Structure 1
């Protein structure tokens, strides 16, 4: 059993956080862009009656919001929503753009980590300089990253339980944390956005994001376990 040094621990903790960010931002992008789910929600909950629009009109409004979040093109929403709603959507667009940038950066770092380690091992194997220590280090890295990911998942599950216990409270805290103004405080009497996007929809969306997030992490954990196993087998050859 190799002794894990401090530097390796720090690297693996950092990488596990990067993997968490990659899976979380990927899940947010995937679920937030799922127009079909929203349309199913509208039909199932008869949202048209509450918004005083037919389903097709609501679908078109929602499509314009999702397209705006992706492009930032105000012409998509300014004719359908009032000034306060448009200003709030500018903030939302910036938040999703940040999510997209974090997703790209974390994905790049994670795949570079895997690729570089494979290249080093293949190069050393070809040059006949591959040692048991090299394989031990690779196996230890993958095992540590997997273990730290599991620890972080545990912490996030505890947080998720707190959020689920009072979603309304933490939904408000989320907005207070990520927005530096009160534009997100909309009036159902004057702002159609809050009527077509009720809190219940966001609660169900958060559950779907959590499921997608865990699923993506599970795949990466299986990959890491497989890499660690292959390194051990190669070491024992």
Structure 2
């Protein structure tokens, strides 16, 4: 019976750890690569797109500044999206009301994920501490590592399936994502009227998604490999106390 509840706690710990890794992977990609956005802007010629669709000119540096401040806003470190830049050689605010409304919804989702990650970190530490007390360090490591291996296999299978589906038709699943998380419907924009959609084309998001998934899978595989090693060396401790 004691093995059952220890395994259950281990599985809860593992699910939370995987969520922590996912949110951290997202954060690393979005905030840990200073040149990523500039390179993407060059790749998709976003300044040229803005001029072609809206007849407006912006420098690449100004575009990067707008996105940098947007990312600060999305993690809750800036109060608003009133971002002044230079358009057609004149001072102007980049976002219109509809764009700011959608980005406010994105901010709510992202901040909630960051808050949930913090809660999961504390809860995971509490579970690990409890297992160390009731099963000794060796037993705790055994239950946590074996549980992670089991949960990890299922999660990776789901992630790979989603990745394959998204690769076949990114537009379809990008739309489904928005329909699920942004049901208010303020996420569709006309490139003739929206600077934001010219700055952030679909290809930009597909590149971000790919980089996040690869970072997440690589991180999970490292933890999984470590868990396998720990399992081998702590197997004898599974019945402690």
CA distance in 2, matches of 1:7, 1:117: 10
Show structure 2 runs of 5+ residues with no match: 52-57, 85-92
Deviation of residue 75 (structure 1)?
5.2
Structure 1 position 55 matched with structure 2 position 60? yes
Give SS of 1:186's match: coil
Tell me the equivalent position of 2:89.
Answer: none
Give SS of 2:35's match: helix
- TM-score (structure 2 length as normaliser): 0.81
| Length, aligned pairs only | 222
CA distance in 1, matches of 2:229, 2:123: 20
Tell me the equivalent position of 2:54.
Answer: none
Tell me the equivalent position of 1:67.
Answer: 72
| Contact 1:12 1:148 (C-alpha < 8 Å) held by counterparts | no
Tell me the equivalent position of 1:28.
Answer: 26
CA distance in 1, matches of 2:38, 2:119: 32
- TM-score (structure 1 length as normaliser): 0.82
Give SS of 1:201's match: helix
The one of 77, 100, 118 aligned to 2:83? 77
Tell me the equivalent position of 1:144.
Answer: 147
Structure 1 position 100 matched with structure 2 position 114? yes
CA distance in 1, matches of 2:164, 2:131: 37
Tell me the equivalent position of 2:39.
Answer: 40
The one of 218, 221, 226 aligned to 2:224? 221
CA distance in 1, matches of 2:101, 2:227: 43
Deviation of residue 91 (structure 1)?
0.5
CA distance in 2, matches of 1:5, 1:119: 14
- Structure 1 or 2: more helix by fraction: 1
CA distance in 2, matches of 1:137, 1:61: 47
Show structure 1 runs of 5+ residues with no match: 124-134
RMSD: 2.6
Dislocated runs of 4+, deviation >6 Å: none
